[in-house]
Amino acid sequence: MQKNRAILMIGNFLSQKRSTRSMCEDLAERLQETGLTVITTSNRTTRVVRLLDMLWSVWWRQHSYELAQIDVFSGRAFLWTQAVCWLLRQIHKPFILTLHGGNLPSFAQTRGNDVRRLLNSAQIVTTPSRYLLEEMSPYRADLKLIPNALDLSNYAYIRRDHPAPRLIWLRAFLNLYNPTLAPKAIAKLVKDFHDLQLIMIGPDKGRDSALQDVRDIAKELRVFDHIQFPGGIAKSDVPLWLNKGDIFINTTNVDNTPVSIIEAMACGLPIVSTNVGGIPYLLKDEQDALLVPPDDAEAMANAIRRILTEPELAKYLSDNGRQKAEQFDWSVVLPKWQDIFRNII
């Protein structure tokens, strides 16, 4: 791609003000390293101000870019995308849509015509997961799969031959991720594994009482002393924190293709996850993870117990997980984005 070509990327560029870093920020950085000029919006934390900033960037910078790329989520954020795409059409700018979020298929069932109309107004629609590819194909048939990526060189691989009872949970504290399942599961294990420790990493989003509920249930079940709550962490610190544990647990009720699971596999942690949303499209039960029904503390505890007591299983899951994570390295994913932008520009 020529260096004078530019794209406008529209999403949540909030890492300088929050501990979390979005995939669009990583993609923008990688594309800039190839010589492509990238304009980004928005880094505003207030939702309404962020929408206004996005619209202003589309209009005011219209002579500075040739193509826009927009992240698409469900709920109120979908309405923002509609507004942004309407303005792009008015100024005759082509755009790419990238679908995100495990709730998007459910949202599409209630707003089918709007979703279909939006998706078909884009030059290309991409999605990071096979789950969304299949679930959203009724609204546009030619979706393109481009997975979320990570830099594998940042993730030290440690094969878990003999895992210790050190568990890692990594997510924002929100009820849809069902974090209370974690203390419920370990409460069924501490009698047999007295030194069991669970580190629950993630920010308190403040949208619901998820973090306080976890604390209350942990105290009620007398496992509070077995849990650490370090809060939100910088993206660069994720590999370090993951390697403080030997088993990664994912408790969510709704999911797509969580990067945290890919990061855990890259570090060699065996995975125990609920079998919901996009998870079975990402993980294969008994192959590179153990999958359990949602909100089933007994099943999750039994899966964790298996990893702790079956060394060959732990090693098998660890090796296979790392091999799968290698499919998500930037060296594999970035050329796919470059091809798309090159073809449109």
Q: Decide if 30 contacts 14 (C-beta within 8 A).
A: no
- The predicted pLDDT at position 14 comes to 82
CA-CA-CA-CA torsion sign (156, 162, 166, 169): positive
Indicate whether 207 and 298 sit together in one domain.
yes
- The predicted pLDDT at position 339 comes to 94
- The predicted pLDDT at position 101 comes to 84
Angstrom CA distances, 46 to 42, 51, 82, 86, stand at 10, 9, 19, 22
Indicate whether 20 and 94 sit together in one domain.
yes
- Judge whether 1 lies within some domain: no
- Judge whether 161 lies within some domain: yes
Q: How far, in Å, CA of 293 to CA of 301, rounded?
A: 12
Q: How far, in Å, CA of 183 to CA of 285, rounded?
A: 23
> 223: domain CATH number?
3.40.50.2000
- The predicted pLDDT at position 205 comes to 80
Number of folded domains in the chain? 2
- Render pLDDT for 3-46 as a digit per residue (tens, 0 to 9): 457 999 999 998 765 556 788 999 999 999 999 999 999 999 89
Indicate whether 308 and 321 sit together in one domain.
yes
Indicate whether 31 and 137 sit together in one domain.
yes
- The predicted pLDDT at position 206 comes to 78
Cβ count near 28 (within 10 Å): 20
Indicate whether 193 and 108 sit together in one domain.
no
- The predicted pLDDT at position 23 comes to 86
Indicate whether 160 and 251 sit together in one domain.
yes
- Judge whether 61 lies within some domain: yes
Q: How far, in Å, CA of 81 to CA of 100, rounded?
A: 12
Q: Decide if 20 contacts 8 (C-beta within 8 A).
A: no
The vertex-309 CA angle with 185 and 223, nearest 5°, equals: 30
- The predicted pLDDT at position 17 comes to 57
- Check whether 160 has a pLDDT greater than 90: yes
- The predicted pLDDT at position 3 comes to 45
- Check whether 121 has a pLDDT greater than 80: yes
Average pLDDT, the chain: 94
Which domain range does residue 320 map to?
152-327
- Judge whether 55 lies within some domain: yes
> What Rg, from alpha-carbon coordinates, does the chain have?
21
- The predicted pLDDT at position 2 comes to 45
What does the pLDDT average to over 305-334?
97
- The predicted pLDDT at position 18 comes to 59
- Check whether 52 has a pLDDT greater than 60: yes
Indicate whether 233 and 280 sit together in one domain.
yes
Rounded to two decimals, the pTM is 0.88
Joined together, the tokens standing for residue 215 give 């604390």
- The predicted pLDDT at position 225 comes to 98
% of the chain surpassing 90 pLDDT: 89
Indicate whether 104 and 172 sit together in one domain.
no
Indicate whether 136 and 275 sit together in one domain.
no
- Judge whether 229 lies within some domain: yes
What does the pLDDT average to over 59-71?
96
- Check whether 195 has a pLDDT greater than 50: yes
% of the chain surpassing 70 pLDDT: 97
Nearest residue to 42 (alpha-carbon basis) of 32, 60, 30, 56: 56
DSSP-derived secondary structure for 221-280: TT-GGGEEEEE---GGGHHHHHTT-SEEEE--SS-S--HHHHHHHHHT--EEEE--TTHH
Q: How far, in Å, CA of 73 to CA of 104, rounded?
A: 7
- Judge whether 322 lies within some domain: yes
Asked which of 30-34, 194-198, 305-309 is least confident by mean pLDDT, the reply is 30-34
What does the pLDDT average to over 314-333?
97
- Judge whether 302 lies within some domain: yes
- Residue 86 region by backbone torsions, left for phi larger than 0, else alpha for psi between -120 and 50, else beta: alpha
Indicate whether 313 and 339 sit together in one domain.
no
Q: How far, in Å, CA of 297 to CA of 327, rounded?
A: 31
- Look at 111 and 19; give whichever has higher pLDDT: 111
Which distant-in-sequence residues (6+ apart) come within 8 Å of 147 by Cβ? 128, 129, 257, 327, 328, 333
What does the pLDDT average to over 154-161?
96
Indicate whether 238 and 276 sit together in one domain.
yes
- Judge whether 243 lies within some domain: yes
Asked which of 49-58, 241-250, 253-262, 318-327 is least confident by mean pLDDT, the reply is 253-262
Indicate whether 312 and 190 sit together in one domain.
yes
